[in-house]
Amino acid sequence: MNTVNIIYEDKYFIAIYKESGIEVDDNLIKLIKKENQKIENLYLVHRIDKFTSGIVLLAREENTKKYFEDAFKNRNINKIYHAIVEGIIKNNRGTIDISIGKDKKNPNKRIPLKVKEGGENAITNYKVLKRLKGHTLLELNPITGRTHQIRVHLSYIGHSIIGDKIYSKNAKIYKMKGFALISKEIHFIHPITKKNIDIIVNYNNEFLSRLKLLDNAKN
């Protein structure tokens, strides 16, 4: 698989699968255009972290760009992530409602921060998919879209994502290129046809190998 693959395409927008390590910025657009010369205009409408793998949407025209920006802002796009986290989460479901903001000591890091101190409201729903050997496979639905939200929230409850070098003290022991967080599903109404669009991707090799290793260790 290439580092970036188009997994859905029409004349209004595309959905790509990106590997861990690729920044969602103008360089991503250049990379897509280089590999797909028939594509002329592309616009970023949302972002995922550099070391998060999975689905990214890009508009192909300005009207569609505005539609998606409004849809994300108004929470009309349902994003589902999967993560492998440290430790066993006992509750099958839960909601993490903790405001977050910039760490003044490290501008690249986010921390739990009260709104009155400059933080922004942040809500993440989670569901346990499987309990592994000393770890848990989670499905995550971020209701808000703050920078590093899922990573900060999981670290806050004591279950950091494995391989996360910023929010986990144990990241080095996993020897991963990125961390075990994938933008797995995205669901929304098509901006023109108004049909339901459901885009789902499989785990990448690194995520899958870690999952199998921890699952087998449990038995």
pLDDT digits (tens, 9 = 90+) for 55-77: 999 999 999 999 999 999 999 99
**Percentage of the chain with pLDDT > 70?**
98
Instruction: Show the domain range for 168.
Output: 4-218
Question: Annotated catalytic, 10?
Answer: no
**CATH code of residue 148:** 3.30.2350.10
Domain count within the chain: 1
Both tokens of residue 38? 């028939």
pLDDT digits (tens, 9 = 90+) for 75-119: 999 999 999 999 999 999 999 999 999 999 998 899 999 999 999
Residue with tokens 């499987």: 130
**How confident is the model at residue 216, as a pLDDT?**
85
Q: How far apart are CA 31 and CA 14, in angstroms?
A: 14
Output the pTM of the full model: 0.94
Q: What is the mean pLDDT of residues 168-188?
A: 92
Of 49, 97, 164, 215, the catalytic one is: 49
